[in-house]
Chain A
């Protein structure tokens, strides 16, 4: 399980899970699960487009997820956020469908973008993953207080001179960065589970922001490590275990809230 070819998988998944735990905390606090689903899922269009014109998939992912974040934020200025997000994700997916129709890209390549191939991560993917992760963590550290305030108490944030619109944009760009980092490694469906389930579970157990943040990161790491280990033993896809462990964790959290707290 810890053989040479597995080291990259453990490293990449650990980096991704750590960042997902942090960004997920804000995602759940803001009720922005739809955006966390839309950006990773829609950004695959960028990878397909990059393949079409022959540039690095990472650039395609970055451009598309950033454009998606700007579109959601722009449309949401004038309309309901959930509708703006829905229209943005379908537009991104439709562009993806267009790009795919013009390439001879093989179906398994799409499968791996959606479901990821952690076990196929190679050594030279670690450096870009770690670099983007570092940018995410620095951004969160710099913006921590205003971002937290605008997520939890938007009215108070406004009264204290924090621009909620600017924080929303910053948050969406943070999700876009996380997407760019995570999709090549774990796939768009798995990063979504990692953004929602650990953070939502953490909030069942504590109301204090810092504790919830730490618990969210710990749960994300535990989920990914357990999923890799079980997947290695059973040969079943990692996405299944991440999704199931996440959902079971949240169910436990809800039962805890109901009966024990």
Chain B
């Protein structure tokens, strides 16, 4: 499991690669970064960032319900997200604004359920730490036994996206053109939302809701500013995502010695700050372009 070969630079603190949690974090982080960047490129193109972010919060309802049934929380996450994605599609087909409201309604309802399940969790298991874990996740607390499950869901999400590549691209650029060319736009939209639900469940559960959203949107948004070719954007986004995860994990590992209290800074902070900073810089250096507003 620990056989990733990375040619390390010498700025890496000692013990970095000999550290079990760090290895697991890097492996899972890389897998999630690639899946998120690939699915996320289409999320950004289709103007579905809100849905992409919402699913990471909505999944917490499933994650919170799972211990009550009881089943492993990943199944709760996936089940709730797939249902939520279907509902969003069903409620919001008319227009972008209707889609925005539909996503909001589904999110609001799911958060209500999450409040109930978390309440039941804390009263029945007296474990309020669940809330924080579900909401923020921790890339360093991953169990390496999760890797096969993570890999299976990743392959499914990637396979759906890549199988749909051409019709998805066409219908993301122009619904009318896609319809004229015989693409079943509605079916493509539903299949894509399924891939999004899988990708987000996977990332939210392993690395937390914050990182799930930033790895879905950040690298893709940066890449789409820098290149017009979708193939290039996919590669650039994946590379950006991997680089941000690796650098973030490294900085978090190093940060333990920064403050006198010995509390390290959270890895999610570094990854988000790196991607946010890069995004702002790309906005400033690339020419202002008229975007279709979703």
Q: Which residues of A come within 8 Å of B, CB atoms?
A: 28, 31-34, 36-37, 75, 78-83, 85-87, 89-91, 93-95, 97-98, 100-102, 107-108, 110-111, 114-115, 189, 192-193, 196-197, 200, 236-237, 239-244, 246-247, 250, 254
B74: shortest Cβ distance to chain A, in Å?
22
Cβ of A192 and Cβ of B111 under 8 Å apart? yes
Q: Which residues from B are CB-within-8-Å of A98?
A: 265-266, 269
Q: Which of A87, A240, A250 contacts B112 (CB 8 A)?
A: A240
Q: Which of B136, B261, B279 contacts A87 (CB 8 A)?
A: B279
> B272 contacts the other chain (Cβ, under 8 Å)?
yes
Q: A82-B294, A114-B135, A244-B109 are in contact. Are A101 and B265 (CB under 8 A)?
A: yes
Q: Which residues from A are CB-within-8-Å of B132?
A: 107, 110
**Which stretch (B5-13, B98-106, B182-190, B234-242) binds chain A?**
B98-106
Complex CA distance for A192 and B132, rounded to whole angstroms:
20
* Extra A-B contacts (12), CB below 8 Å, given A111-B131, A244-B109: A31-B101, A37-B107, A82-B49, A82-B50, A87-B217, A87-B221, A94-B272, A98-B265, A101-B269, A110-B135, A189-B112, A192-B111
Q: A80-B293, A94-B210 are in contact. Are A37 and B47 (CB under 8 A)?
A: no
Contact residues, B10-67 vs A (CB, 8 A) = 44, 47-50, 52-54
Cβ of B112 and Cβ of A91 under 8 Å apart? no
Cβ of B49 and Cβ of A197 under 8 Å apart? no
B60: shortest Cβ distance to chain A, in Å?
10
Q: Which residues from B are CB-within-8-Å of A80?
A: 44, 47, 49, 291, 293-294
Question: Can you list 14 A-B pairs, Cβ within 8 angstroms, ordered by A?
Answer: A33-B104, A81-B294, A82-B48, A94-B266, A102-B261, A189-B111, A196-B105, A236-B116, A240-B119, A243-B108, A243-B113, A246-B112, A247-B106, A247-B109
Q: Which residues from B are CB-within-8-Å of A86?
A: 49-50, 52-53, 213, 217
Contact residues, B254-294 vs A (CB, 8 A) = 259, 261, 263-266, 268-269, 271-273, 275-276, 279-280, 283-284, 288, 291, 293-294
Cβ of B293 and Cβ of A247 under 8 Å apart? no
Complex CA distance for A198 and B141, rounded to whole angstroms:
40
| Interface majority SS (helix, strand, loop, mixed), chain B | helix
> B128 contacts the other chain (Cβ, under 8 Å)?
yes
| Interface majority SS (helix, strand, loop, mixed), chain A | helix
Cβ of A237 and Cβ of B119 under 8 Å apart? yes
> B205 contacts the other chain (Cβ, under 8 Å)?
no
Cβ of A83 and Cβ of B44 under 8 Å apart? yes
Q: Which residues from A are CB-within-8-Å of B268?
A: 94, 97
Complex CA distance for A144 and B106, rounded to whole angstroms:
29
Complex CA distance for A98 and B53, rounded to whole angstroms:
20
Q: Which residues from A are CB-within-8-Å of B266?
A: 94, 97-98, 101
Q: Which residues from A are CB-within-8-Å of B279?
A: 87
> B166 contacts the other chain (Cβ, under 8 Å)?
no
Q: Mark B110-137, 1 if CB is under 8 A from A, else 0.
A: 1111111011001000001101100110
> B218 contacts the other chain (Cβ, under 8 Å)?
yes
